[in-house]
Amino acid sequence: MAKNTQYDHNTIEEHWHGVWEETQLFQDTLATADPNKESLYLLFAFAYPSGQGLHVGHVESKTALDILARFNRMHGKTVFFPVGWDAFGLPAENYAVKTGVHPAETTRNAIDTFRRQIKRVGISYDWKSEIATSHPGYYKWTQWLFLELYKKGLAYQGTGQVNWCPSCQTVLANEQVVDGKCERCDSEVIQKEMKQWYFKITDYKDELISGLDQVDWPKATKLQQLNWIGKKTGINITYQVDDIDAKITVFTTRPDTNYGATFLVLAPEHEFVKTIVDGKLETPQVEQVREYLAKAQKKTELERQQEGRNKTGAFTGFYAVNQLTNRKMPIWISDFVLSGFGTGAVVGVPGHDLRDFEFAKAFDIEVLRVVVGPDGDTSPITSVDQVQEDVGKMINSGFLDGVEIAEAIESMMDYLEEKGWGKRVTTFKLRDWLISRQRYWGAPIPIVYDPEGKPHPVKEEHLPWTLPTDVDFKPTGESPLTSSKEFQDRVEKLYGPGWRPEYDTMDTFVDSSWYYLRYVSARDESQFSDPERLAKYLPVDFYMIGPEHIVLHLLYSRFFTKFLRDLGYLKFDEPFLAMRHQGMILGPDNKKMSKSKGNVINPDDIIQKFGADTLRMYEMFMGPIESDKPWDISAVAGVYRFLQRVLSLVEAVRLTGSETPDHPDYLTVRRKLHQTIEKVSKDIPARKYNTAIAALMECVNVWEKASRDKAVVLPESEVLAFIQIMAPFAPFMTEELYQRGRETSEFSSVHQTEWPSFDPEMAAEDMIELPVQVDGKVRAKLRVAATDAAEEAKVISQAQANEVITKWLDGKTVVKTIYIPGKILSFVTK
RNA sequence: GCCGAGAUGGCGGAAUCGGUAGACGCGUGGGUCUCAAAAACCCAUGAGCCAAAACUCGUGAGGGUUCGAGUCCCUCUCUCGGCACCA
């Protein structure tokens, strides 16, 4: 056979890239789609076009989807596989602050780079439906969506404590604060009271939970969403404040221990605290309350967290009465109680809640035991390890004595409700979504204010409400749009003198939470998306997305989907039917790739040296898509060698020209080929690309050996089948091999051919190797004709005739014989 | 602390309705070719014992169920991800 056929990957890949561009292969899918064909919508979480360009992680997830796309096209489906850009965002704006280059220009250049790189990797996107969120044709509809929410009362202005990043000079959503720091720049986030725009995502909280039953997502992802929504059932208990006309309601999930309640704690922001500070309620402790409040408000989120479990607090001078015991419980304030959760007030049961115990110890409050400890311990609780939270029988608890905790919870809730002292409630951790951003590079919020400062929606005929360009980017703490003269003039001209625009822009997550709806009619100027196409192609069949988007993007997207469904625009409840996450590609040092560590692999370099086919195939071969895995440059070369061998092998077949289907070893190769077709056909839909590639390699190993040692030459149809099953992985080289074997000059791609079928008969082995165990240990392997595998008696007698088995059975009594047809034969002796 | 995922040769990983552990690739050792080297190709490659065959051990640790456990059950350790003074 011909050795070392030159594998000139750059020439091959650039050539076919050019041909595909010219012939518009797989472009404008929906306009040309056959309505009778089954359709498949594959979606990649669109990327922020950063100045760094494409990285190997992008290549991984894009290739994974591209393989699915090509495979399904070859199965006759209409595959919708669009691409776009999450183009608004901070990096371009920060770059503008530093250099003065307008974000629009930075973004345009970055997109151009990405587009070029993605095409070079051979991702078969439909570029006709490309979108960018920063394009007025797109954000017009983002603004339209805002107005629809506004009309329904789901976009509202609220004043409250917000997360403020002093470095980005903007507010952040709760979801964007990570460990008390800004997720973008790691600056410490502070709390600020501001008037901002919110979306009422909490209206959908129940459905955001129940809808998860409809989708095929990783279990862990669903749990994480549930966790974030944080549904909890408990009871609100209302206590009378002693001596004055006031009541305080606490939320608790554990009313069972209420006989052990000895104090109340209020969040610093609690209404009752306000009345004290305002002097409406007289107490000798007013000064210390004020002092504590002042201190608490100054703390940043981070400082609060760093305090850890150390309890601070102040006594208000008031007492609440526990109806169960008539005990007067001192009312304290402390910042460990959060105003946003429950009622902003808790009842302290120090004997059976770790936190309450710590608080009681810090301020010398009485601790009562109401649950029997392990080994029947009923002594007073004096140390932390006696604080028993979850299990045990009630004691000192009146009618609950002797009852297990779980049962006591329900009994007590019933009792409190019966008495009118409490009411069962459900609470959620999920807050409304704060969408105002004091930044430039985003979609302007389509709101204008009249001279009295009252907000009005921008009229729909004024959409897109364009982002002004005469803006000073330098962050001042005020929105950059404040500096635009054009923006101000526009508003006064359209709405009247004294009117002013809303200067804030929308969180970029607003842009990215509905893009998958826009793709199907990306150029439509009359509506946000085409109803017919939405009905036909949505919801998304398969979504590939990084694990970092689990909480924010998915939650917001699901909210929009449900909202638009309620308006009648959509006929489905969930936007993404199936979803998986790609793992991270780590540097060769097994660490996350970063410029500072100098371990970044640039896909351009790999393509230059080995080609896009190698890059794709290597990344798919590294391991399961879902797991993190380190880059290994010599393994890349291994994949390159494989491709080179394929090229040589196929070339050799064609140069030889004479097939040898009558060769005795031909059947071995054909069997392997059919086994490989079967394996690859099963592995691709399951996205087990690493094992599919391993199978392709095995096939080549067998084929090559037969070709070299035995001069076996496969018929052209079988060579073609191999090329076809490899095509989704290595689109360039397979196109080259396919075209070399064709006679006609009219272009038709290997990627448009029909996927080869495998013949189970041809794939079947005629001899199998059957392990034989004696007492659980494999002692011999029998060669059994496949046709005999089902005949137990025949197999057993063959085993008993085996020399090694005889030796092991010698002098022993076989008490049991187990035969799993075709799998294993096991003798058990005494 | 709580929730989730995971731990398999020198490395990445195969194999989980319980049935030959280590497919495939990398690396390593030896060889062919060459004046030499590179490339390419061939052979070997879990550990122990060993001339070889055979045998013994072996999937984070310890127990258990089973004829048989990487896979199932219990306990534990470590790593990664998420949440966290959430009442």
Q: How confident is the model over A456-477, as a mean pLDDT?
A: 90
Q: Is the pLDDT of residue A175 over 80?
A: no
Any atom of strand B under 7 A from CB of A794? no
Over residues A495-521, the pLDDT tens digits come to: 999 999 999 999 999 999 999 999 999
Burial A561-572 (b: 16+ CB within 10 A, else e): bbbbbeeebbee
Would the Cβ of A821 be found within 7 angstroms of any atom in strand B?
no
Q: What is the pLDDT of residue A301?
A: 64
* Whether residue A678 has pLDDT greater than 70: yes
Asked if strand B contacts A717 at the CB level, meaning under 7 A, the answer is no
Q: Mean pLDDT score of chain A, rounded to an integer?
A: 91
For residue A804, count other CB atoms closer than 10 A to its CB.
13
Residue A742 makes CB contacts below 8 A (sequence gap 6+) with none
The pLDDT confidence band at residue A338, using thresholds 50, 70 and 90, is confident
Query: Which single residue has its CA nearest the C1' atom of nucleotide B2?
Result: A227
Give the model's pLDDT for residue A496.
Answer: 95
> Straight-line distance from CA A635 to C1' B29, in Å?
19
What would the mean pLDDT of A235-239 be, rounded to a whole number? 95
Closest CA to B41 C1' — which residue?
A3
| CA atom of A827 to C1′ atom of B48, Å | 28
Element spanning A771, H or E: strand A767-774
Residues 300-339 of A, Cβ under 7 A from nucleic strand B: 304-305, 307-312, 335-339
**Which residue, counting CA atoms, is nearest to the C1' of nucleotide B12?**
A622
Does at least one atom of strand B sit less than 7 Å from the CB of A818? yes
CA distance A542 to A529: 20
Distance from residue A497 (CA) to nucleotide B14 (C1'), in Å? 73
Average pLDDT over residues A193-210: 92
Task: List strand B contacts in A 247-276 (CB < 7 A).
Answer: 251-254, 267
**What pLDDT does A602 receive?**
93
Kindly report, residue by residue over A737-749, the tens digit of the pLDDT.
999 988 887 899 9
Q: Determine whether the distance from the CB of A691 to the nearest atom of strand B is below 7 Å.
A: yes
Start-to-end CA span in chain A (Å): 58
Q: Please give the protein residue whose CA is closest to the C1' of the nucleotide B15.
A: A691
For A126, the token pair is: 């439909």
Q: Which nucleotide is nearest to A304 (CA to C1')?
A: B85
Measured CA A700 to C1' B30 distance, in angstroms: 25
Residue A534's pLDDT is: 97
For residue A819, the SS3 value is strand
Long-range contacts of A312-316 (CB under 8 A, 24+ apart): A312/A336, A313/A265, A313/A359, A313/A362, A313/A363, A314/A285, A314/A288, A314/A289, A315/A285, A315/A288, A315/A363, A316/A266, A316/A272, A316/A273, A316/A276, A316/A283, A316/A285, A316/A289
Tokens 């999930």 sit on residue: A253
Other CB atoms within 10 Å distance of the CB of residue A202: 17
SS (H, E, C) A191-234: EEEEEEEEECHHHHHHHHHHHHHHCECCHHHHHHHHHHHCCEEE
The torsion region of residue A665 among left (phi > 0), alpha (psi -120 to 50) and beta comes to alpha
A192 touches strand B (CB under 7 A): no
Q: Which 620-659 positions of A have CB less than 7 A from strand B?
A: 621-624, 627-630, 632, 634-635, 637-639, 641-642, 645
Q: How many CA atoms lie within 13 A of A256 on its CB side?
A: 26
The pLDDT confidence band at residue A1, using thresholds 50, 70 and 90, is: very low
Is pLDDT of A312 > 80? yes
What confidence score (pLDDT) does residue A191 get? 77
Is pTM beyond 0.90? Reply is yes
Task: Kindly provide the ipTM of the predicted complex, given to two decimals.
Answer: 0.95
Q: Which of residues 214-233 of A touch strand B (CB under 7 A)?
A: 219-220, 223-224, 227-228, 230, 232
Which nucleotides in chain B lie less than 7 Å from some protein C-beta? 3-5, 11-15, 19-21, 23-27, 40-42, 54-56, 67-69, 80-83, 85-87
From the alpha carbon of A547, which nucleotide's C1' atom is closest?
A: B81
Tell me phi and psi for residue A580, to 5 degrees: -140, 160
User: Residue A816 class from Cβ within 10 Å (0-12 exposed, 13-18 middle, 19+ buried)?
Assistant: exposed
What pLDDT score was predicted for residue A536? 95
How many Cβ atoms sit within 10 Å of the Cβ of residue A361? 15
Beta bridge partner(s), residue A43: A543
**Which residue gives the smallest C-alpha to C1' distance to B86?**
A341
Distance A599 CA to B31 C1' (A): 37
> How large is the average pLDDT for residues A296-300?
75
CA of A828 to C1' of B66 (A): 12
Is the pLDDT assigned to residue A348 strictly greater than 70? yes
- Closest nucleotide to A224's CA, by C1' atom? B82
User: Residue A443 in contact with residue A511, Cβ under 8 Å?
Assistant: yes
Looking at the predicted structure, is the pLDDT value of residue A3 above 60? no
- Residue A775 Cβ under 7 A from any strand B atom: yes
Question: pLDDT at position A484, please?
Answer: 95
Element spanning A548, H or E = none
Distance A649 CA to B38 C1' (A): 23
Residues 341-360/A with CB < 7 A to strand B = 341-342, 344, 346-347, 353, 355, 358
What pLDDT sits at residue A253?
Answer: 92
Distance A820 CA to B17 C1' (A): 14
Type of residue found at A399: F
On the CB side of A29, how many CA atoms lie within 13 Å of its CA? 27
A785 touches strand B (CB under 7 A): no
Nucleic strand B within 7 A of Cβ A783: no
pLDDT at A694 over 60: yes
Q: List the A171 CA – B84 C1' distance (angstroms).
A: 22
Contact of A567 with A531, CB cutoff 8 Å: no
For residue A551, which nucleotide's C1' is closest to its Cα?
A: B82
Q: Look at residue A4 and tell me whether its pLDDT is greater than 70.
A: no
Residues 96-155 of A with CB under 7 A from strand B: none
Across all strands, nucleotide nearest A343 (CA–C1'): B87
Q: Which nucleotide is nearest to A688 (CA to C1')?
A: B14
Instruction: Identify the pLDDT of residue A389.
Output: 79
Closest CA to A611 of A647, A584, A582: A647
Q: Between the CA of residue A796 and those of A91, A298, A783, A814, what are the distances in Å?
A: 72, 83, 12, 12
Q: Which residues contact A17 (CB under 8 A, 6 or more apart)?
A: A119, A120, A122, A732
Is the minimum distance from the CB of A771 to strand B below 7 Å?
A: yes
Nearest to A54 by CA among A103, A104, A125: A125
Q: Closest nucleotide to A335's CA, by C1' atom?
A: B85
Chain A residues 3-62 with Cβ under 7 Å of strand B are: 3-4
> Is the pLDDT confidence value at A2 over 70?
no
Closest residue, by C-alpha, to the C1' of B68: A776
CA-angle at A194, arms to A193 and A197, nearest 5°: 140
Q: Is A425 left (phi over 0), alpha (psi -120 to 50) or beta?
A: beta
- pLDDT digits 0-9 by tens, A541-597: 999 999 888 888 999 999 999 999 999 999 999 999 999 999 999 998 888 888 888
Q: From the alpha carbon of A804, which nucleotide's C1' atom is closest?
A: B54
